[in-house]
Chain A
Amino acid sequence: MDNPVPLSRASYPRIAPLYRFQWEAAQNAFVLLFPEGMVQLNVAAGEILRRCDGKLSAGEIIADLRVAFQSDAIDADVEAFLRSATDDGWVEWRDGVTP
């Protein structure tokens, strides 16, 4: 897409009820669990999804991650991840607002 719809930073993403998000020490990673399946998340994906608790807006998540990763150049990556996580059904948005 040349001009993706801007992601609404005022809405609240959270892990969809079909999925369970947890830390797995044996894999040294966060994972998403779902019926008979699992996705092992890389560090960045894990740090984004652990903040998708329905209490932080997308804007607040991005601000928090800028601090965590000590970088101002992460906005586009986080937005792209949230978009694809939404397409995959991992994440849903409160107030019916989707990016």
Chain B
Amino acid sequence: MNALPNTAGVPLWMVAELTYRCPLHCPFCSNPVDFAKVQSELSTEEWFRVLAEARALGAVQLGLTGGEPLSRPDLERLVAEAHRLGFYTNLITSGVGLNETRMRALKEAGLDHVQLSFQDSTRELNDFLSSTRTFELKRRVATLIKAHGFPMVMNCVIHRLNIDHVDRIIDLALEIGAEYLELANTQFYGWADLNRAQLLPTREQLERSEAVVAGYRQRIGNRLRILYVISDLYETRPKRCMNGWGSTFMVVAPDGLVMPCHAARMLPGINLPSVRDASLAQIWLDSPAFNRFRGDHWMPEPCRSCPEKTKDLGGCRCQAYLLTGDVGATDPVCDKSPLHSKVLEIINGPRPLRPAIERPLVFRTPENSSRLLADATQPCD
């Protein structure tokens, strides 16, 4: 069996989470549930340094996200600097705060592309899931994006409450003129993990939606490219974690912590480095956190001797931790995992018949985040 290399690749993709502030309160948000404890955001100058260091390491795709990146008044300056450095800049936004003035300034700053989120194709469910009245605003923002000649990705997180609307969500993407549609089935980390019982679709729903997507792809061809990512839990082999832990991606959090994936902040025993203490090159190449799951030295059986380890690299570390309690375990999505039964219990277990009614969703709000933090730190009696 060949050993996988332990060396770092080029971090082609950098995700800059500019802030955890967000006007939306989606119950499947990928931000950490304890985001309320993060107070000190990187300054404009700190981000300039991070961007330059990332570019020097070979990063070329830059995702500007959050929270809502438009909450940062210096967004236009950050885009201009990233553009000057040669990044391809992607603004990943809810649309809230994107008016004509800012749109024009972003265009002048050299922004390349806008990814606009919807939570559903209907005003009622979009507004319920985001706890806002933003559906009409998002439609106006879509018109604005196209009027300024940006390529547009429409993103919609898919789950039990909206998966039966996939056809209408695709129609909406066609109507607003998106070039790409990302239908991302909820992955159950962070807020989504708290709401898993309400959000995990049934296998029947998933199969129906896959058939709908296949039908549309045949009919509409290249006019709209649909990326359809199904939930890991219904697979029998895991996905690579972000193309491999520390291989392609790095995420810089609002307070400067650098993570191999969006959810890594919750993993115990991993001391995430900060751009406030070290250069990105030191972090990417030398930090224990980024080296922890490179190669295969960390793998337990059945991964270590498995011929498929070069494909999935042992799967997702966050999923392994959430479902088994061990961050170094084989991803239990794999049916070779001795703990695969944990996944079967979830997908075959009892489900609420009326998900969001029998058990209310926990929305992503600063208040809920503070409450969850307080619960987590309460001493046991």
Contacts and interface: CB of A to CB of B under 8 A. Distances in A.
Contacts of B61: 33, 36-38
Contact of A89 (B86, B113, B115, B222): B222
Interface stretch (A19-27, A41-49, A66-74): A19-27
Contacts of B57: 26
B362 to A, nearest CB: 29
26 contacts: A17-B151, A18-B151, A18-B179, A20-B112, A24-B58, A24-B60, A25-B58, A26-B57, A26-B60, A33-B60, A33-B61, A33-B88, A33-B112, A34-B88, A34-B151, A35-B90, A35-B113, A35-B115, A35-B151, A35-B180, A36-B63, A36-B115, A36-B153, A37-B61, A38-B12, A89-B222
Nearest to A33: B88
Contact of A35 (B12, B153, B222): B153
Nearest to A88: B222
Contacts of B149: 17
A31 interface: yes
Contacts of B60: 24, 26, 31, 33, 38
Contacts, number: 44
Contacts of A17: 149, 151
Contact of B86 (A22, A27, A34, A38): A22
Contacts of B153: 35-36
B369 to A, nearest CB: 28
Report, as a range, how many residues of chain B touch the other chain: 10 to 19
B222 to A, nearest CB: 6
Nearest to B55: A26
B22 interface: no
B161 interface: no
Interface string B47-87: 00000000001101101000000000000000000000010
Given A18-B179, A89-B222, A36 B113 contact: yes
B58 A20 contact: no
Report, as a range, how many residues of chain A touch the other chain: 10 to 19
B149 to A, nearest CB: 8
Contacts of B222: 89
Contacts of B112: 20, 33, 35
B20 to A, nearest CB: 22
B7 to A, nearest CB: 15
Interface of A: 17-18, 20, 22, 24-27, 31, 33-38, 89
B172 interface: no
B10 interface: yes
A56 to B, nearest CB: 24
B58 to A, nearest CB: 3
Interface in B273-328: none
A36 B90 contact: yes
Nearest to A37: B61
- Of A17, A24, A36, A38, chain B has the most CB atoms within 10 Å of the CB of A36
Contacts of B58: 24-27
Contacts of B12: 38
A35 B10 contact: no
A97 B371 CA distance: 63
A35 B179 contact: yes
Nearest to A34: B151
Interface in B71-125: 86, 88, 90, 112-113, 115
Nearest to A26: B58
A95 to B, nearest CB: 21
Contacts of A35: 90, 112-113, 115, 151, 153, 179-180
A89 B179 CA distance: 11
A89 B151 CA distance: 13
Cβ-closest 3 pairs across A and B: A26-B58, A33-B88, A35-B113
Contacts of A24: 58, 60
Given A20-B112, A35-B115, A36-B113, A26 B88 contact: no
Nearest to B90: A36
Contacts of A38: 12, 60-61, 88
Contacts of A34: 88, 113, 151
Contacts of A36: 61, 63, 90, 113, 115, 153
Contacts of B179: 18, 35
